Amino acid sequence: MSNLHLADITGDLEQEPIRKGFGRGLLKAGQLDVNVVAACADLTDSTQMSLFKAEFPERFVEIGVAEQNLVTVGAGLAAMGKIPFVSSYAAFSPGRNWEQIRTTICLNERAVKVVGSHAGVSVGPDGATHQMLEDIALMRVLPHMVVIVPGDSLEAERATLAMAKDGRPNYLRLAREATPIITTDKTPFEIGKAYVYEKGSDVTIITTGTMTYQALVAAEQLYKDGIEAEVIHCPTIKPLDAETILKSVKKTGCVVTAEEGQVIGGLGGAIAELLAENFPAHLKRIGMLDHFGESGEPNELLEHFGLDAKHIRLAAHEVTAKKKSE
Amino acid sequence: MPKHTVDQLETISTQIREDIIRMLEHAGSGHSAGPLGLADIFTALYYEILKHDPKNPDWDERDILLLSNGHCVPVRYATMANVGYFPRKELMTLRKLGSRLQGHPERTRLPGMETTSGPLGCGLSQACGMSLAMRMDQTKKRWIYVVMGDGELDEGNVWEAAMLAGKEKLGNIIGIIDRNNIQIDGPTEHVMPLGDLKAKWEAFGWHVIEINGNDIEAVIDAAAMGRAVVDKPVMIIAYTIPGKGVDFMEYDFHWHGAPPNHEQAKAALHELRTLGGKIRSEHE
């Protein structure tokens, strides 16, 4: 869609890890607001907080390998009017410190920005312990928490800037590997909004994070198959943009979701809940199906677990066929 | 200069203990031993130690008091009511639907409650965050007091915070451990031995002061000594008697998580009002 100023995905796309955009966004947010501060649990380079730390050493706190302390220190910083971004790998934060996030951030209504990097199976060789897949579910269930999963590094940068101005607890999910940049500097981002990246009337494909690029590739292929897919990029999983999603599904009557995480409680769970209560439709959910990942090369793993354009395309065929057979 | 005489403060702490008994009896659930044991410390804090204003709970120069062991909140509610944060009659709403006095404290419901707590081990790290923010802002010196239980020290989060405060030399943090030697499953040294607490905190870079936590004057003095140590965080290990003031509750871990029934409350109030039989109660 031209008004979204997307990159041409049929051309050669530049690639960059999504976390890099977070690093730039945090630095910019820090330049814009003196109250933006950061804390990290011994992964400052990996999570890309190093840019902020280099420019604002006095506003950066090294917590050490202590994720429970990381988020509770964040709650204390927020209590004094700071806008704290606290980062680690998603497997550890929010993986290890969920109760502290629940009590001292969400129930306590402190606007801490929890940033989980290296989420999804595309972490690769590190294996299942480090491939966080349950973070969306863990954060989505918490009252007051906003859950954001950007689709590329540019969107991560915009999301980070938006989070610095959002007065609520936020969770930002980042990926490790370089992924195609599908947006441009002019592409809009607003917390709570889903965006129609590709218009179509036969099937709605709803994706988040790294899967949005895969969905756009699948949509190209589906077009050649004679299926016009509408691709909705959903960077905010909570609060969910029900209006945009339902409007599309009422038109297409069938849905595919795709995410690099557990379907249970994830984007797939959220969409299933929304549709079941508002507009039941044929639904196929792509994601991790109640199992863990394992070591391997990122692309190898994505294919192995069916998290790619090929599987999104097959799923779209499946739901459109079901719709037609009614 | 002290604002009250020791006699006055002891009268206040007895009043707070009576309120705790009445609140818990009325609520029908809650913790008895810890709050009674902490009454002298909370009297000292709110009546002598803290810079605060009950009529302006958000005063930006106030000292901060974090109750990390949230289950002991009845003592804080009772003290806050007595010192003027809210009417004493509201104490009887403890643990009732719609009350600002939740079973475990919630910041967003009650002005003057600095944080939400209950799940243990999170107070000290929030104090670290507050202290670091104050250092970044170079604000006027404010003290952060953190009351913790001894059983709470089983939590790993406490020691993560202890390391950070020691590393960063957070000199405006004064912790107070309620060393009453009991927790839900029994004596602390049976459940999970804490051993030489003084040596442990010193090893983490803290200045440690040990006192009788049921001696109000000793609490006030220890806080003053703690404020004189500016290059390190300070931990006051306050030895208290769980259930203090009610003889059938004292030292008995079964009262950690139980409220008195009507008869027990009556006996407890009689004992408190007569100072253990030393004087006649004006209520009887």
Tell me the domain boundaries of chain A.
15-180, 195-324
- Residue A183: its pLDDT value, please? 97
Q: Is the model's pLDDT at A2 over the cut of 60? A: no
Chain B residues close to A84, C-beta within 8 Å: 129
Confirm or reject contact between A142 and chain B (CB < 8 A).
Answer: no
A residues 28-47 lying closer than 8 A (beta carbon) to B: 37
- Beta carbons of B137 and A80 less than 8 Å apart: yes
For residue A136, what is the enclosing H or E element? helix A135-140
| Contact by Cβ (8 Å): B25, B279 | no
Strand-strand pairing, A229-233 and A282-288? unpaired
| Contact by Cβ (8 Å): A255, A319 | yes
Best of B73, B122, B152 to substitute, by most chain A Cβ atoms within 10 angstroms, is B122
Best of A33, A34, A85, A104 to substitute, by most chain B Cβ atoms within 10 angstroms, is A104
CA of B7, closest CA in chain A: separation in Å?
37
Best of A56, A73, A99, A100 to substitute, by most chain B Cβ atoms within 10 angstroms, is A73
- Beta carbons of B133 and A59 less than 8 Å apart: no
Confirm or reject contact between B102 and chain A (CB < 8 A).
Answer: no
Class of the A195-324 domain?
alpha beta
Q: How far apart are CA A284 and CA A266, in angstroms?
A: 14
CA of A32, closest CA in chain B: separation in Å?
16
Confirm or reject contact between B62 and chain A (CB < 8 A).
Answer: no
| Contact by Cβ (8 Å): B95, B104 | no
* pLDDT single digits (tens) A271-306: 999 999 999 999 999 999 999 999 999 999 999 999
Of A69, A82, A99, nearest to B164 by CB-CB distance is A69
Identify the closest residue of chain B to A79 by CA–CA distance.
B130
Q: Which of A267-276, B58-67, B273-282 has the lowest mean pLDDT?
A: B273-282
Percentage of chain B lying above the pLDDT 90 cut: 92
CB atoms within 10 A of CB A115: 29
Q: Is the model's pLDDT at B284 over the cut of 70? A: no
- Beta carbons of A104 and B133 less than 8 Å apart: no
CA of B155, closest CA in chain A: separation in Å?
10
Q: Is the model's pLDDT at B243 over the cut of 70? A: yes
Mean pLDDT in residue range B43-64: 98
- Beta carbons of A107 and B134 less than 8 Å apart: no
- Beta carbons of B122 and A72 less than 8 Å apart: yes
- Residue A1: its pLDDT value, please? 47
Mean pLDDT in residue range B187-211: 97
- Residue B208: its pLDDT value, please? 98
Mean pLDDT in residue range A181-210: 97
- Beta carbons of A84 and B129 less than 8 Å apart: yes
| Contact by Cβ (8 Å): B143, B130 | no
Mean pLDDT of all residues belonging to chain B: 96
- Residue B277: its pLDDT value, please? 74
Confirm or reject contact between B109 and chain A (CB < 8 A).
Answer: no
Cα dihedral B181, B182, B188, B194 sign = negative
Q: Is the model's pLDDT at B1 over the cut of 80? A: no
Identify the closest residue of chain B to A58 by CA–CA distance.
B136
CA of B194, closest CA in chain A: separation in Å?
21
* pLDDT single digits (tens) A134-144: 999 999 999 99
Helices within chain B (DSSP H only): 6-27, 33-44, 73-83, 123-137, 156-168, 188-191, 197-203, 216-228, 262-273
Of B108, B137, B157, nearest to A68 by CB-CB distance is B157
**In angstroms, what is the C-alpha Rg of chain B?**
18
Confirm or reject contact between B173 and chain A (CB < 8 A).
Answer: no
| Contact by Cβ (8 Å): A197, A231 | yes
Q: Tally C-beta pairs within 8 A across A and B.
A: 96
Question: Nearest Cα to A60, choosing from A49, A69, A68?
Answer: A49
B residues 112-141 lying closer than 8 A (beta carbon) to A: 114-119, 121-122, 125-134, 136-137
Query: Predicted ipTM?
Result: 0.95
Q: How would you list the strands of the sheet with A229-233, edge to edge?
A: A195-198, A229-233, A203-207, A254-262, A282-288
Confirm or reject contact between A106 and chain B (CB < 8 A).
Answer: no
Confirm or reject contact between B161 and chain A (CB < 8 A).
Answer: yes
- Beta carbons of B136 and A99 less than 8 Å apart: no
CA of B122, closest CA in chain A: separation in Å?
6
Q: How far apart are CA A177 and CA A179, in angstroms?
A: 6
Mean pLDDT in residue range A161-167: 98
- Beta carbons of B129 and A64 less than 8 Å apart: no
Q: How far apart are CA B284 and CA B266, in angstroms?
A: 11
Q: Is the model's pLDDT at A115 over the cut of 70? A: yes
Structure-token pair, residue B34: 């810890």
Of A58, A59, A69, nearest to B125 by CB-CB distance is A69
- Beta carbons of A76 and B108 less than 8 Å apart: no
Q: Confirm whether A155 is a catalytic residue.
A: no
Q: Among the options A67, A157, A198, A230, which is catalytic?
A: A67
- Residue B282: its pLDDT value, please? 66
* pLDDT single digits (tens) B3-28: 899 999 999 999 999 999 999 999 99
- Residue A206: its pLDDT value, please? 98
For residue A51, what is the enclosing H or E element? helix A50-55
Q: Which CATH superfamily is domain A15-180 in?
A: Thiamin diphosphate (ThDP)-binding fold, Pyr/PP domains (3.40.50.970)
| Contact by Cβ (8 Å): A124, A297 | yes
Report all structural domains of chain B as residue ranges with CATH numbers, in order of start: 6-273 (3.40.50.970)
- Beta carbons of A104 and B115 less than 8 Å apart: yes
For residue B147, what is the enclosing H or E element? strand B144-149
